[in-house]
Amino acid sequence: MCGILGSWTQRPLEPGIRDDALSRILHRGPDDEGQFSDGGVFLGMRRLSVVDLETGRQPLFNEQRTCAVVMNGEIYNYRELAGSLRQAGHVLSTASDTEVAVHLYEDHGESFCESLNGMFALAIWDGDARRLVLARDRFGKKPLYYARTPDGGLVFASELKALRPLLEAAGGMWELRPQGIADYL
């Protein structure tokens, strides 16, 4: 079990806020922590190392380092996908199942998930297009919570308790709305 979180807001997150949010999902990944920031964009993760213990540290990037990915879960067909990506000319720097997602995104855009067989929640930041892509497997096996911020941004996390400091740092309020609960149920 791993955990991911992040934000895309008008202002960069303070390091203390990022660290607080990541500490709230420490139990999801005691083996490693990774962070990436690009202005108002932040991606973070806690990793339980299962696949590619040595070089699979996240976030992972495309060859030009213009796209970054963090993922919670496992892509079962990653070896097959990695072979196809290499044949297409991609240079994979790890044996990680996570890395195939960023290269598939480069080649197929937002439809990249159609090739993935597994259970996952992931975030890809495309710096060139200034686009944040959040995706989950078809059955939603891995959790991914998100909220809009007052400045029109977005925060997300694998657990609600990690979402709270990100939302509050962006000026959002942490409140339960009865209508929202009714809609959910």
Residue 59 is given by DSSP the state S
| 138-98-7 Cα angle (round to 5) | 80
> Cα–Cα distance between 120 and 71 in angstroms, integer?
7
> Cα–Cα distance between 62 and 65 in angstroms, integer?
5
Q: Is 113 a catalytic residue?
A: no
Q: Which of 1, 2, 33, 151 is catalytic?
A: 2
> Cα–Cα distance between 173 and 151 in angstroms, integer?
12
> Cα–Cα distance between 82 and 51 in angstroms, integer?
14
| 126-152-150 Cα angle (round to 5) | 140
> Cα–Cα distance between 42 and 168 in angstroms, integer?
15
CA nearest to 130, candidates 151, 108, 154, 107:
154
Catalytic residues: 2
